[in-house]
Amino acid sequence: MFAGIDVHKRSHAVALIDDRGGALGTLTVPNSPAGYRRLLDWLDERDADAAALAVSAPGRHVQHLEAGVFGSLCRRGVT
């Protein structure tokens, strides 16, 4: 199972994909601590806590945008 997180200034879009490439669900959360908690809960609800995750890097001038969600995932033990 894989999850991709597309980082934006005000929100993050997430797609959960199975091992064969099928979409299991999508979610958009605010770029905020509450949004990060919702994302983690959503992954837990789908037994995706062991999913491989990829977080987009929006570019050098806005690298800070992914820091909050990335830090929350790391603190939860997600790799």
Q: What is the pLDDT of residues 7-49, one digit of tens each?
A: 888 899 999 999 999 999 999 999 898 998 999 899 989 988 7
How much is the pLDDT for 70? 67
How many independent structural domains does the chain possess? 1
If you average pLDDT over residues 61-68, what whole number do you get?
61
Domain with residue 50: its CATH number is: 3.30.420.300
How far apart, in whole angstroms, are the C-alpha atoms of residue 18 and residue 34? Answer: 26
Question: Residue 39 class from Cβ within 10 Å (0-12 exposed, 13-18 middle, 19+ buried)?
Answer: buried
Rounded to two decimals, the pTM is 0.78
Domain hosting 34: range is 2-75
